[in-house]
Every structure is written in C-alpha cells, then in structure tokens.
Amino acid sequence: MNSLSRSISVPRNYSGHTVVKLLSNEVPKLFPFFNGSTLSHQQGSKNSDNELEELWTVNEMNSTFSVLRLGPAHRHRLKRSTGYSIISDDLQEWINRGFGPNIRSARSTKRIESVLVRDFRLDKYQPLDEIYRYLDELVNVAPVRVFDIGETHEGRKIKAIEIRGNSQDPRLVWIDATIHAREWISPATIIYIIEQALVTKAKVNFLMVPVFNPDGYEYSWTVDRLWRKNPDAMTEECNGVDLNRNFDASFDGQGSSDDVCSQLYQGPSPFSEPETRSVGHLIWTMRKNIKLAISIHSFSQLWACPYAYDTAPTPHYREHMEVLKAIQDAVYKTHGVQYTIGPLSTSLYVGSGFSMDWMYERAGIAHSYLVELRDKGVYGFLLPADQIIPTATETWAGIKAAIYKVLDVKIRS
C-alpha cells in the first residue's frame, strides 16, 4: 500500500454537512468562489466545515438543479435565497440511516441469494473482498475463467471474468462497471448480470471487469462514501484521477479538467493510471472479437451512445439509436421505468477521455454504449439497497435486447 492509504485511515465523517437542492444558476450568486467541480477543501483537510461540493445535478421541468453538500460554515449563505430545499440537515445521518454499507431498506423483506455462490446476497451492496470472493468461487461451480489483468497503485488486483456460453462463436460482449467508486449500484448490477448469464445458460460469450477501480471502491467503503476517483496521491492536498477522463479520446478536452483537485481531473496523460492501462490493454487485445461493449455507471436513467466529447452524430448514429430504442423498450417493460436514450453529449453532458468513445473510435468497436442506472437524482449515488434488484433486472433486460439486436442471439428469461 502507498503512503496515502496508511496516512488516511479514519473514515470521513459528514456530520453537520447539509445537502441542499437549488437552481444551478443560483449557485454562483450564493457561492461566487466555487468553480463547480473542485472542493473548497479536499477530504483530509483540517477544516472540513468550509467544504462545498456539488454532489450531482437534477433536471426537472426544463430547469437544472444542483444538489450541493455544504459544510457548516456555508449554511448561512442560504438565507440569501428562497429558491432552495433541504434534502438532509446531516449527510452523515442520512448515510447511516439506510444508504451506507450493509444497511438494507426495511421496505424489502425477501432475501435474494446467489444460487451459485454460498452466503452471497444479490440484494445487498457488497464490499470489494466479497465481490472478489464471489468471482473466485464461481470458478468451482461454473464454466468461467477469472483472471487478473493488472494491479492498482495500492497493489490490489484488477479482476476480469470470461464466460464462454458458446465455444463455437468467437464474438464477445464486453461489460465493465465501477469506474467511479461511489456508484455502488454499478458493481451490484454487474454481479447480477454475471449470475443471470450463468443461470440462464446464455449462448453468449462475455468478458467483464466488475470493479474497474478497486482502490477507489475500497476507499468509498472504508474512508469516504462519496469518493469518485482512484485514490492516487497527486499533491499534498489533492489526490485521485477520474478514470473516465483518462482514455485517449479527445483527452484534455471539454468536460475534463487539468486541476488535480477537480472531481474531473483527467490525469497527466492518457492511460497514466494502472487501471485504464490494464483495462485498455485487455480491450485492445480482444477488440476484433468484441462486438458489443457496455460501461455501467450511475445515475440518470440513461442509455447512451458516442460521442461523449462531441455533439456531432457518429457515422453509426442510426444503428446506435435502433439498438438503444430496443433497449429502452425492454427496460420499460420490466418495471415501467423510463430511461432516456441518445448520444451522451446531447443527452447528459459533454465529456472528454471517456472509455466509450475510445472503444468506439480507437478500438473500432462500433456498438459501444454507456448506461447510467437509477435514479434521476432523488437519492443519486446513495441509492437504497431495495432498488438493487429492480435496477439490475431492468438492466439485464436491456442488455439482452442489445445482444439480440447486435449478435442476433436470444437469451431466455
């Protein structure tokens, strides 16, 4: 482990921090010193009371709202505006009440257990060591290959799993998850997908990386529930690279940052991080066989296609939209939840250095997509555990629809 892990071992405490929603255009008026993606003080600061962070944004009734985390020192500024609502007076209490580790909503009474791996619940957020136990034990009970593709800054293995559902078919479906540490619904969903691919005996070959960012994911469990990046030490005050800004696809462009304290910090160069190098190498090696690629994120309820970095349509725009429409219909039929579809740049935001754009443009995988799972900003990254199975089942339905459109293979329910 590097010095960062040893020196920052006390869990991040958000007691006294307010979560507030207000119109995004009000933010610079109330907080003129805030640039949008950088904390006033990074975690680990001696004075966290001064911290200010935009947790996420919400689009409602043709307006954009910002959900902010305010340290106690900033609470008084809200008196200057009447157009805001308090989501939580105490973020730490909100996390502890039911949206943190190992806490499951009381509304859900039925336990959903894996039928392949003992003592593993699919309806519960699982820490890194449990996810890796699940993958390792699958080798003994299912036709899978689990292997290490690289090692993180802190010495953790980056694991991949290959499922050979049809040895006569060279084509592969690529799925990755957990590139952003705080998006816990992402690894929970991909584990469900692995389980279903095996239980249904899908005649499809999958290649998956369930936890793209092991260091960051572990950090979100042990230190800071809202951590996004990898925890690579960059400066004395700021650390971490946004791994989904670190790919060689319009690197250093719009929607990324060269500020090491930014949540969107792209890193010093493309593929500067061991995680992106490891995953990129595996994709590049298998690029001729990968016919469908999906990156799982949260949140926004969006299925997207390239580009992220450019609002211009791709040469495959019509094909992409046909696939996305099939996905949208399949998802909606599962639980009646509507997901938006379209190019990421025009459906959500413009961003550079995305893995999806790199897979599409550089690796030549025509059918490269990204999904932003539930919800639309009510809980954001703190999605209650009782939404794991509904989210995962509708996502699996969407993936099956995509496989049928792209590979012409139907997977039974």
Do 309 and 394 lie in one domain? The reply is yes
Question: Is 268 inside a domain boundary?
Answer: yes
Burial class (CB in 10 A: 0-12, 13-18, 19+), 81: middle
CA 295 to chain centre: 8
The per-residue pLDDT for 98 is 60
Do 54 and 150 lie in one domain? The reply is no
Do 142 and 66 lie in one domain? The reply is no
Which residues are paired to 54 by β-bridges?
A: 68
Do 238 and 326 lie in one domain? The reply is yes
Q: What is the pTM of this model?
A: 0.93
Do 77 and 163 lie in one domain? The reply is no
Do 157 and 23 lie in one domain? The reply is no
In angstroms, the CA 401 to CA 146 distance is 26
Concatenated DSSP letters for 122-145? Answer: TTS---HHHHHHHHHHHTTTSSEE
Question: Is 277 inside a domain boundary?
Answer: yes
In angstroms, the CA 287 to CA 42 distance is 38
Q: Tally the C-alpha atoms within 13 A of residue 49's C-alpha that lie toward its C-beta.
A: 5
Per-residue pLDDT of the chain (413 residues; tens, 9 = 90+): 443 443 445 788 999 999 999 999 889 989 888 876 655 543 444 467 888 889 998 888 788 999 999 999 898 888 888 789 999 999 999 888 765 444 444 455 589 999 999 999 999 999 999 999 999 999 999 999 999 999 999 999 999 999 999 999 999 999 999 999 999 999 999 999 999 999 999 999 999 999 999 999 999 999 999 999 998 877 777 899 999 999 999 999 999 999 998 999 999 999 999 999 999 999 999 999 999 999 999 999 999 999 999 999 999 999 999 999 999 999 999 999 999 999 999 999 999 999 999 999 999 999 999 999 999 998 999 999 999 999 999 999 999 999 999 999 999 87
Question: Is 286 inside a domain boundary?
Answer: yes
Do 216 and 344 lie in one domain? The reply is yes
Per the structure, how many domains does the chain have?
Answer: 2
Question: Is 111 inside a domain boundary?
Answer: no
Residue pair 216/187 in contact by the 8 Å Cβ criterion:
no
Question: Is 240 inside a domain boundary?
Answer: yes
Omega before 217 within 30 of 0, i.e. cis: no
Q: Is 183 among the residues known to form the active site?
A: no
CATH code of the domain in which 186 resides: 3.40.630.10
φ, ψ for residue 198, nearest 5 deg: -80, -45
Do 80 and 149 lie in one domain? The reply is no
Domain boundary among 30, 59, 89: 89
Q: Tally the C-alpha atoms within 13 A of residue 110's C-alpha that lie toward its C-beta.
A: 5
Range of the domain at 145: 128-407
Question: Is 6 inside a domain boundary?
Answer: no
Domain boundary among 66, 89, 112: 89
In angstroms, the CA 231 to CA 236 distance is 12
Do 193 and 339 lie in one domain? The reply is yes
Do 402 and 353 lie in one domain? The reply is yes
Do 251 and 298 lie in one domain? The reply is yes
Annotated catalytic residue within 195, 218, 372, 394? 372
Q: Which residues contact 168 (CB under 8 A, 6 or more apart)?
A: none
Domain boundary among 67, 89, 111: 89
Which amino acid belongs to residue 120?
F
The per-residue pLDDT for 48 is 78
Question: Is 254 inside a domain boundary?
Answer: yes
Do 63 and 175 lie in one domain? The reply is no
Question: Is 5 inside a domain boundary?
Answer: no
Residue pair 365/280 in contact by the 8 Å Cβ criterion:
no
**Joined tokens for residue 373:** 């799972």
Cα 309 to Cα 65, 346, 353: the distances in Å are 23, 10, 8
